[in-house]
Chain A
């Protein structure tokens, strides 16, 4: 089969509150474009077939797999990566809660976990344990055994309620 020549196209993406036009091949995954063109290496790549959730980002506020989307498809959408969340000096409540509750070890799954947790808390401010487990079921962690992650999300709900 003849492969079409790799043509590049311009695409304007709204990432973490700023618009930028980049030139991409249509086959470039959003995960790769965010990492390589935008330098957002908080987008972790685990499996590239939608199973692990490490590449989770928020698109229009909802968690999606950035490895299962081409950058050209994201034109006009509002993209958030973990880099948008907080700074080491001023962490997002979800990040503070993961830190307090030891919700991470190696940290590979963490950006996806944190973003999914944030999306959950935006929708359900005070989730039950079952709701937390259900929401996070698409994010795999090979280190923590999940219990501390669930506790971190419960803690994040408290911190957000305290304001």
Chain B
């Protein structure tokens, strides 16, 4: 099918984009890589009357290393993140996560900001950002503000962004000494959305896990002394978390199955965090295991 007619704007600044969105009200939509929005428009599941394309806005792409933070521009593509050597060195989970997203042709266009703003429950970036305690930098009619990821994602495909808000960057706290992170997911085929996945962040004995593809939003659990536990007690803890987390049933898997596999992907995400590539190589094969 084909999208309904809309008015198209490609402003050159964030300010101009916010102005156009304010004018458009609920008819308006931001267009980034289009890898989620355009399929929805082709099927007329989304019928925006006005599209505000960010492609001409400067300063929204690339990775900056600031004191205490890593700032990833909202329009940075999955592929740019995948290929970024310094980012992969400082935060290898970024490369490992990017490699799990869709296919080459999708990664070349799709953006990290678009993925976070789209808030698909099975998407990697919202969970990675939540696991890393990142915040979203948002520009709107009232100026700029920072929103912690937990407060940004409100439900499946739903965020707390207002219609004239633009996500300009993701701000990730610089990893502390000894901090490691990794990702693992189970999918039918490489490139498919995850049936269940987890991101792990560890430091010393402490562990923070964030699951995706499980419930309607990414969910996290933390333990200060996880690595002090015996292996058996660790497994019990992961199983218990899997059972208490909210899980959805759909065409692809039941909630019962997802809860069980949640413990397995958590264990493998922890192994990924302990590995040098944060799970990149394991991830390339993950689709074949199911």
Contact = CB atoms under 8 A, between A and B. Distances in A.
Interface of A: 1-7, 9, 25-29, 32, 48-50, 53, 56, 59, 62-65, 67-70, 72-73, 116, 119, 130, 134-135, 137-139
B246 interface: no
B7 A49 contact: no
B35 A68 contact: yes
Interface in B127-164: none
B84 interface: no
A54 to B, nearest CB: 11
A53 B4 contact: no
B22 interface: no
Q: Which 10 A/B pairs are nearest by Cβ-Cβ distance? A: A138-B103, A26-B8, A49-B39, A68-B38, A6-B5, A27-B3, A62-B108, A63-B105, A48-B42, A137-B191
Contacts of B50: 4
Q: How large is the interface on B (under 10, 10 to 19, 20 to 34, 35 or more residues)?
A: 35 or more
A57 to B, nearest CB: 9
A135 B51 contact: no
B8 A9 contact: yes
Interface in B95-146: 102-106, 108-109
Contacts of A1: 27, 47, 49
B284 interface: yes
Contact of B103 (A3, A6, A53, A70): A53
Contacts of A27: 2-6, 41
A138 B4 CA distance: 27
B4 A3 contact: yes
